Amino acid sequence: MTLHSEKLSPPPATSGVRWWGNSFVRVILGRVGQLAVLLWGVSTLLFFLLRFAGDPALIMAGDNATSEFVDEIRVQYGLDRPLFVQYFFFLWHAAKLDFGYSLASGLPSLDLVLAQLPWTIKLSGLAIMLNLLVAIPLGAWLGQAPERRTRNAVSSLVFILQGTPGFVTGLLLIQFFAVKLGLFPSIGSEGTLSWVLPTLTLTAFLAPRLTRVLASNVAEAMQTDFVRTARAAGASESQVLVRHALPNALLGTAALAGSQLSYLLSGAIITETIFAWPGLGLLLIDSVRTLDFPVVQASVFVVACFVFFVNTSVEMLFRILDPRLKQRTK
Amino acid sequence: MQVNAGQPKKRRTLIFRGLIAVMTTALFVSGTVAQAAPSPKAGAACSKAEAKVTVKSGKKALKLTCAKVKGHLIWVAAIPKVKKPVVAPAKLGGNFRVGVAALPTGKGNPFVGIGTPGIYTMAAIYDSLVTINEEGDLVPSLATKWNQTSDTSWTLTLRDGVTFSNGEKFDASSVVSTLSYLTQDPVGAKTIVAAEVNNISSVSGSGNTVTITTKTADSILPRKLTVVWMVAPKAWQTLGAAGYALTPIGTGPFTVTEWGATAISLQANKASWRSPKVDTMQVLQIPDPTARIQALQSGQIDLAVQVGPDETSEVDRKKFQVVYDSFPQVMSLAFITTKGDSPLLKKEVRLALNYAINRDSIVNNLLGGKGTAANQGSTKLVFGYNSNLSKYPYDPTKAKALLATAGFPTGFSISADVTVGSFPADADIYQAVARDLKRIGVTLLLRQIPFSEWLGLYSTNGWKGQAFGLSWNSNTLDARRAIGLFSCSGPGKFFCNEDMTPVLTEIDNASSESARKAALLKAAEINYNNPPALYIVGQVDINVLGSAVKGFKNVNRYFPYEKITVR
């Protein structure tokens, strides 16, 4: 039998400097390289997808415009040039973080994105924290003894919640808490209370999934040898859960929580639309509707950077928390 | 037994520390980014790149940076840091809050969009020279009189004592400046509004009199001027289009105090010739129609603009006013006859389809009885509407007979590309049409596409099916535009009836309003007897008001905000 303690044993003190000096820095540098490739790939894909999605000159000109008028608009915005010329022009400027000006408003597109990004980040941060606060205890409780009747019922409820679309939850929350009870605002971001319903909506969408994964991991951990050993040593059920099963189960769910944060940062579009939240999701929807290429490109660029940052942070965290990963990369 | 003795505790501590680190990092990053967002600024035109300057506009100090925009060096306003959208408490007197689906795409620049969504905001800030009332007639706005002095010349008399919100006087120079920008400026002449007035060759004037000369005879120039909002010439010169977009200045009843990401805050312009009765106003972007109704029900807005019949079905009529208004736009399925073989090439088939649908049922069941059964591309409000034409009766028997005459006794299948979500119940209406056509043996396959794809197919006549959704609309409430779309010379070129060509020439060359009207009536009759489309219904707008709101009126989506009071 492979002893659990062997898997988690810390590296010898002498290897610590080498690990940080070589492996960790190497990983970070590798990630920066990956980020550059990722940004190039995402930008390129988006550039061509957007061009095939439609002609912004037509939207700017309107459906009453003559073809000559539309052509003049294409010339004005450089849309008449060959696609690859437009692409290299875009890449050159994107490398300098210059995404051009919004076709709709004529304002710098990156500034438009940065102005709305904080609202999405703050809402995402709140939602992910509430998500963890709900999912960790609930998942641990459900996973501890999944066969019990009460927990089975709660498990079914969590399953139903997982299948409920976010917009349905959002509209129901508004109807009950804003329209019927008048406790919270249904739109906007004015005041602390206005954060409640959007945060709850996002949490209601995220928490069931995390809860179920954690419950499954905890249930699995409860059957392992080290848990049996802990029981034999006289640990109470709560001690077994909190000290032995849960920490192991959390390792797996941390990855999911990281990907959920990435999902939120990429724009909780529906939630932002329903609550008229001034975040990136709403900006993206408006920009796509009007084929405002520069704003869409700047938005996706910024989101890709943040998602990468979050994913890399989670991975680094894993390396610190789980020495097995460190040993594999040696 | 020493296997797990010390490690789990240490690892648990590490895990929890790690989680705390992630949360702290997220909060730190959000705070950092929030601080990194630029401060509020506005912008204008300039000559030296990267130069910075602070200008005063009214009581505001604007910090500007010179940058290259679309090939031109102009003063550019940095995007203001998004502040919390101001949603005032529900029971503040003198505050009017409007919930709309979208804010103007070009922010406060009045020349980059016509109609919705911009008009709901622009009508609070700007005025046009002439406007159209609920009967479809031209009425004075900033111009009190207009006369056609020759086939190609118009003289306008401007309203006395009007000032812009920054104190500039409105006079002939304002009109000359605005129209010159739209007809001569390399950027202005490419805007969507410019396309409506591109027949203007010169504008001149002094004091309160303006003379406009057109390239060809233009008997409806005043109608075209209804889509041109007047801007303050000195402010426009100073701020440029980008700066003006952030700090719009007009002669309307309100001035913008803050233009946020999802909300625009305005305050009363007491010096306006349309001085409002409320002190402040907010235009709030609430994209989802159900959310707009819920915001109204929860007291966060006073007016929910453009909602559907489904959203209003649960609204308590004792507490809220549901206002239906006809909108001068006819929903139709355009027939494609210029792309190879199709049953729709035959006139009898096109007539048969028009006899096959039960328009009254659609109006009564899907539009709450407020729409109109369409028999032409115009509604009563539109100049050129032919009231002598009778309705197409709902007559499936006659439709089947016409199909048999055309050689299709058992019917046929066609497909149509449509966009939905633009008008109340449009998806349901298309389904009802398909159901009715099925009864005469015609299978209509509907393909829903996004508007951007629709525009691309429309501009290239790249349709794969035999029909597509196209509304007969007119920004200037003149029937010529829509008739032109369905002609041999239309931009889409999807339908061609040579009989219409000389009539269109007659319309375009008409030197008087009466001559033009006669030609338009003739065109409507041609399109009635040889329909280029399956006319469905005249559309409606549904707006819902809080009971405290009085004086609301919807004049073709132009809301006279100055008449509104909120108890």
pLDDT in tens, B309-368: 888 888 888 889 999 988 888 999 999 999 888 999 999 999 999 999 999 999 999 888
**Residues B273 and B251 sit within 8 Å (Cβ to Cβ):** yes
ipTM over the 0.90 cut-off: no
Q: Is B521 on the interface with A (CB under 8 A)?
A: no
The pLDDT of B49-65, averaged and rounded, is: 58
Partner residue opposite B69 with nearest CB, options A64, A101, A277: A101
Distance between B295 CA and the closest CA of chain A, angstroms? 6
What residues in A contact B290, CB-CB < 8 Å? 171
Task: Dig out the tokens for B371 from the structure.
Answer: 């729409």
- CA-to-CA distance for B429 and A288, rounded, in angstroms? 27
Beta bridge partners of B84: none
Q: Reply yes or no on whether the pLDDT at B89 is more than 90.
A: no
Q: Is B284 on the interface with A (CB under 8 A)?
A: yes
User: Does the distance separating the beta carbons of B114 and A112 come in below 8 Å?
Assistant: no
Q: Reply yes or no on whether the pLDDT at B91 is more than 50.
A: no
Q: Reply yes or no on whether the pLDDT at B75 is more than 70.
A: no
Partner residue opposite A69 with nearest CB, options B70, B195, B285: B195
User: Up-side HSE of residue A309: CA atoms within 13 Å toward CB?
Assistant: 14
User: Does the distance separating the beta carbons of B4 and A70 come in below 8 Å?
Assistant: no
Beta bridge partners of B281: B96, B266
pLDDT in tens, A71-94: 877 887 788 888 889 899 888 888
Q: Reply yes or no on whether the pLDDT at B487 is more than 70.
A: yes
In chain B, count of helices (H) and strands (E)? 15, 22
Reported pTM: 0.77
Instruction: Between A272 and B5, name the one with better pLDDT.
Output: A272
B residues 92-111 closer than 8 Å to A (CB): 99, 102, 105-107, 109
Partner residue opposite A73 with nearest CB, options B11, B190, B452: B190
The pLDDT of B236-246, averaged and rounded, is: 89
Mean pLDDT of chain B: 85
Q: Which pLDDT band, with edges at 50, 70 and 90, does B21 fall under?
A: low
DSSP notation for B304-363: E-S--HHHHTTS-TTTEEEEEEEEEEEEEEEEP-SSS--GGGSHHHHHHHHHHS-HHHHH
What residues in A contact B297, CB-CB < 8 Å? 179
Distance between A36 CA and the closest CA of chain B, angstroms? 21
Q: Reply yes or no on whether the pLDDT at B56 is more than 70.
A: no
Q: Which pLDDT band, with edges at 50, 70 and 90, does A6 fall under?
A: very low
Distance between B71 CA and the closest CA of chain A, angstroms? 9
DSSP B555: B
pLDDT in tens, A257-299: 888 888 887 657 888 888 989 998 889 888 888 888 889 999 9
Q: Which pLDDT band, with edges at 50, 70 and 90, does A20 fall under?
A: low
Nearest residue in A to B482, CA atom = A64
- CA-to-CA distance for A52 and B354, rounded, in angstroms? 36
User: Does the distance separating the beta carbons of A3 and B298 come in below 8 Å?
Assistant: no
Instruction: Give residue B2's pLDDT.
Output: 39
User: Does the distance separating the beta carbons of B37 and A273 come in below 8 Å?
Assistant: no
Instruction: Give residue B85's pLDDT.
Output: 47
Instruction: Between B108 and B370, name the one with better pLDDT.
Output: B108
Task: Dig out the tokens for B564 from the structure.
Answer: 């509104």
User: Does the distance separating the beta carbons of B284 and A187 come in below 8 Å?
Assistant: yes
Instruction: Give residue B280's pLDDT.
Output: 94
**Angle made by CA atoms A258, A259, A261, in degrees to the nearest 5:** 65
Q: Reply yes or no on whether the pLDDT at A305 is more than 50.
A: yes
Partner residue opposite A185 with nearest CB, options B23, B87, B109: B87
Q: Is B36 on the interface with A (CB under 8 A)?
A: yes
Instruction: Give residue B294's pLDDT.
Output: 92
Question: B25-29, B239-243, B419-423, B513-517: which has the minimum mean pLDDT?
Answer: B25-29
Nearest C-alpha neighbor of A100 from the set B207, B186, B70, B530: B70
Partner residue opposite B192 with nearest CB, options A60, A179, A292: A60
Distance between A56 CA and the closest CA of chain B, angstroms? 8
Whether the link from the prior residue into A278 is cis, omega within 30° of 0, is no
Is A68 in a helix, a strand, or coil?
Answer: helix
Pick from A107, A229, A261 the residue to mutate for testing the B interface (most B CBs within 10 Å).
Answer: A107
Contacts of B4 (CB under 8 A, 6+ apart): A4, A5, A226, A229, A230, A244
Distance between A5 CA and the closest CA of chain B, angstroms? 6
What residues in B contact A233, CB-CB < 8 Å? 1
pLDDT in tens, A229-246: 888 888 888 888 888 888
The pLDDT of B239-268, averaged and rounded, is: 91
User: Does the distance separating the beta carbons of B70 and A101 come in below 8 Å?
Assistant: yes
Distance between A160 CA and the closest CA of chain B, angstroms? 24
User: Does the distance separating the beta carbons of B106 and A106 come in below 8 Å?
Assistant: yes
